[in-house]
Amino acid sequence: MRPASVRILVALLSTCGPLLVQAQQREFDLPAADSAAKGTALAEVMRKGQVEGRFRQFNMVTVNDGTPSDPWAVAFGGTLGYASARWHRLQFKLSGGYTFDLTNSGLNEPDPSTGQLSRYELGLYDVTDPRVRNDVAYLQLFQLNYMSPRTSVVFGRQELNTPFLNPQDGRMHPTLFEGVWTVHRLKGGTRIEGGWLYRAAPRSTAGWYGIERSMSLYPSGIGVNGKPSAYATHLRSPGIFIAGVEHTFRDLVKVSAWEQAVPAIFNTALVQAEVARKGRRWGVGLQGIRQDALANDLADSLAYMPACAGTWVLGGRFRMDHGPFRWQLNYTRIAAEGRFLMPREWGREPLYTFLPRERNEGLGDVHAASLNLIWKDLVPGLRLQADAGVYLLPAITDARLNKYAMPSYHQFDLNAQYQFQGAWKGLAAQVLVLAKVPLNDDPLTAKQAYNKVDMLHGELIINYIF
């Protein structure tokens, strides 16, 4: 690494900025009764509502070995919203978000040796519109929700957290969806949820898009024919239909199953079982994913998945607890039958071997293994995690199985998070430092390695919620 680049990393991680928002929406509390009497006038219900806010400052830098540009950025933003009192079990929510570009290294200028833009730092703003100054604003939540002790229904713009659709909160605002979503809890403890979603606001963007358009806002890699993917303007679908069920048997085995269908594009199903008795030190997890293309009238070169394409994903985890310390050993196998595809705009993949700031989506014939070392409450509010992973991928020239020409790699992370206590409650800080190095000795060009391997990445995030 060049000494100047290292100094940039140290300086940026030492930056401490304004307070900022915790970017994950709190789960609905199930009320025993309305917060406004049933005879209350609508105007009074609105006056009894409350303002909710979040702030975030995000400091980020990437040091690429052997290239002249080391992108960095400092962004500040958050959300300001309103939630009405609950009346006849109904509630209205509205919020808007904003991001200010405090300073950056010139993210609209491609790296001179590779011709590529920043991969991570530009994602703090709007990847669809790189500008000299990247101030953005957007409508975040706009919904009407209904709550009873066992059932909730949300209509409108909302945040979801499922294996395939989730906030992936690693930038300035989370991924959001618009549609109808319901959750129902049965008396035996079974949880059933699902819905229909017809619009998305992916993180790292500043707008709302139809489901088909939302699948191609990020770089879309290459098709199985080795040419740039051309599906962006050809996909047609009424939206995402998704359902999930979760149940715990005898306080020992928790089983969950999910089905996600995007008509005329693809279908993905997941089954996951986790064995862990309360009070026991050990736990085991198993997961299986099956994915298939759905019928459409597109040529393979224009489809998100070629006709009849599909693949399997299998994963496992073993963990042990030793007081405040936990270690987890994880494994994932993506079959060589085809690529495992999951729009990066919609969320992060649910694989046990997932590590921050990298994906195995878009790949087939993968062997991945990782180790997580986790310390909780070393001091009250402090969580420390160290990760190491090895990812054996198909050759970067194998277009059928390697959508983004990602080389095999090692990844090492150190992630420290601190939740402030007492009068500072609501304030949180996180430091993430990671390195990715190529696994093989095969020579890589600067373009093949840039922002993928031979790199060091650092982040300092300050969050505040009120």
Q: Are strands 209-210 and 191-201 parallel, antiparallel or unpaired?
A: antiparallel
Confidence band of 5 (pLDDT split at 50, 70, 90): very low
**pLDDT for 280:** 81
- Backbone CA torsion sign across 233, 234, 236, 241: negative
Q: What are 235-253's pLDDT values in tens digits?
A: 999 999 999 999 999 889 9
Q: Extract the tokens encoding 359.
A: 């994906």
**pLDDT for 38:** 62
| Cβ count near 421 (within 10 Å) | 11
* Domains observed in the chain: 3-465 (2.40.160.10)
Query: Which strand (E) or helix (H) includes residue 14?
Result: helix 3-14
**pLDDT for 33:** 59
Instruction: Give the 3-state secondary structure of residue 447.
Output: helix
| C-alpha gyration radius of the chain | 22
Q: Which residue has the higher pLDDT, 438 or 440?
A: 438
- Is a pLDDT exceeding 50 seen at residue 256? yes
Q: What are 80-96's pLDDT values in tens digits?
A: 999 999 998 999 999 99
Does the pTM of the predicted model rise above 0.95? no
Considering only CA atoms, which of 206, 208, 190, 207 is closest in space to residue 198? 208
* Look-up of token digits 């949300």: 154
- Is a pLDDT exceeding 90 seen at residue 378? no
Q: What are 403-427's pLDDT values in tens digits?
A: 999 999 999 999 999 999 999 999 9
- Percentage of residues in the chain with pLDDT exceeding 90? 80
**pLDDT for 37:** 65
- Percentage of residues in the chain with pLDDT exceeding 70? 92
